[in-house]
Amino acid sequence: MHGHADACGSVNLPRLPRRLRADAPSWTETTDVCVIGSGVAGLTCALNLRQAGFHVTVVTKVHIDDGSTRWAQGGVAAVLDPLDTPAAHAVDTQVAGVGLCDPAAVEVTVTEGPGRVADLIHLGAEFDRHADGSLQLTREGGHRARRIVHAGGDATGAEIQRALHSAVLRDPWIRIIENAMVLDLLTDSHGRAAGVSLHVLGEGVEHGVGGVEARAVVLATGGMGQIFQSTTNPSVSIGDGVALALRAGADVTDLEFVQFHPTALYLKNSEGDRQPLITEAIRGEGAHLRDHGGERFMVGAHELAELAPRDVVAKAATARMRAEGEPHVWLDARHLGRTMLEERFPTVTGFCRALGIDPVTDLVPVAPAAHYASGGVRTDLHGRTTVPGLYAAGEAACTGLHGANRLASNSLLEALVFTHRIAADLAENKPSPGDPEIGRGESWVCSTTSRAPLQEAMTAGAGVLRSQTSLEATAEALTGLGDNVSGSPRPATWEATNLLTVATALTAAAHRRRETRGSHWREDHPEASDDWLGHLHLSIGPEGDLDTTWESA
């Protein structure tokens, strides 16, 4: 696999495969719509599709509850206070997105959001309420009004996942295939989505590489945090959906905008594992960040100190870690007291104690970690990608809502809104593709030994702090890994290949965007530029070359 230069002509990138498998599935089953992923986007989409009368098959890589949703601590942002307005929510969203939000996507989300939260409550999600029965609403960073509903204090994701899981299990026309890795999109002779190939781990007839033929496919595979050494995403979040979409010829966009959460719990020797998140609400209640000399390094760095925007705090923490030669900084919440920590933050306090750290008496080691991908598979306002019959939702999608930086708690809201719109679009249009064909293009996979060096290269050169020099070093490392081809197709090598595909696309976009905007920080271009008010769309050409096109905002 030989490298090629990107559109700027100054960085070498690996060629990428167009298929993970070149042969036909050994078994097939049929459904109306195949949904890939079992987080809030996947399960909500399945339930909405059932209301529209479709039979649904949900494919999930591990267990139905092993995605990112259950780890969400914050909540869902929606206008539920009579004193709040959709227009105010829209402004806050656009400010966070630093000029790159799609106004139409923002309008759809903030207007339809309250109704979708009501749907979730109707399904059985129990959010925290006041004694009079009204919903408790809180604020998070970037919001100028109380519009965040939450559950169990800091366990919102777990409650939403519980409610959705229960609703899905009650419906006999939703089939769930667990422990299945999706490989490639199946298409008909006209290039329309007609299902997916997948590998199922297990015994019996339906195991090995098979296929689910469908009238439409929805990608709800979550994030791509595992391309970095430290991430709050679970081990399954390697960007499978984005990689599949790229191989299928779909566009992805805004991949350079990865939000790094500044305070993930630092765990030594835990590369590849999920880093537990320390919610920023603890800093909102007065916790401090300190370096190894005890200094509160955010004081003087920003007028809001520890309450500065996430990108500012993550950048400052990374710079201080570099200067001190340390892998983490410290979060000091000791002065908040036992009652506050145990009652307001039971989840955080519990997992810290399980690891031998008591935030009541101990400093907590924290470090920035990849948290959320604002970009993904490019969609329109109905969740449609650039491939007919292929849809995307949730963190795997780029609807245009987030722009250059996601506003806190808008992610779950986006999934609720756009999965409803996907179901409505499918109900109206009812696609009817022809028989699936074996895809064209070169098929190969990376060695399993590629994963650790890829994560190291991405963290060093395309992580919190980036520059032309660091990104070119990352691209060179990725090109070398693209030459490290294994002849043994299996889940580990397919995952390594997906990681290489997504990492290559992200690196190309980050190298091309020569400015600092939102969650993309270029040390050699530290200011935002009006010349870069727009979006980078990436796709894989017939020969595996990564093509980049520019669209002004």
Catalytic residues: 310
Q: How many other CB atoms are there within 10 angstroms of residue 308's CB atom?
A: 19
Beta-carbon contacts of residue 543 (< 8 Å; ≥ 6 apart)? 15, 442
Alpha-carbon distance values, 234 to 10, 162, 370 (Å): 34, 18, 11
Q: Return the sign of the alpha-carbon dihedral for residues 15, 20, 23, 28.
A: negative
- Measured distance CA(275)–CA(455) in Å, rounded: 14
Classified as helix, coil or strand, 219 is: strand
Q: Which residues pair with 13 in a beta bridge?
A: 4
Contact assessment for residue 20 and residue 494, using Cβ atoms and an 8 Å cutoff: yes
Give the SS3 label for residue 537.
strand
Distance CA 127, CA 393 (A): 23
Nearest 5°: the CA angle 448, 450, 456 is: 135
541, 250 Cβ separation under 8 angstroms: no
Q: What angle do CA 200, 202, 205 make, to 5 degrees?
A: 80
Cα 117 to chain centroid distance, Å, stands at 21
- Which of 222-254 are b and which e, b meaning 16 or more Cβ less than 10 Å from the residue's Cβ? bbbbbbbbbbbbbebbbbbbbbbbbbbbbbbbb
∠ CA(244), CA(15), CA(255), 5° rounding? 50
Which residues, in sequence order, are CB contacts of 404 under 8 Å at separation 6+? 97, 98, 99, 100, 254, 257, 374, 517, 518, 519, 520
The answer to whether residues 167 and 124 touch, using CB atoms and an 8 Å cutoff, is: yes
Q: Which residue in this structure is represented by tokens 């979730």?
A: 120
How is 255-319 classified by DSSP, letter by letter? TT-EEEEEEEEP-TT-TTSBPPB--THHHHTT-EEE-TTS--TTBTTBTTGGGS-HHHHHHHHHH
Torsion sign (Cα): 72, 232, 274, 348: negative
Structure tokens at 477: 């490392």
Angle of the 491-512 helix axis to the 240-247 helix axis, nearest 10: 80
Tell me if 67 sits within 8 A of 38, measured CB to CB. yes
CB atoms within 10 A of CB 189: 11
- Do residues 100 and 401 lie in contact, with contact meaning Cβ atoms separated by under 8 Å? no
CA distances from 297 to 75, 120, 194, 520 (A): 29, 41, 54, 22
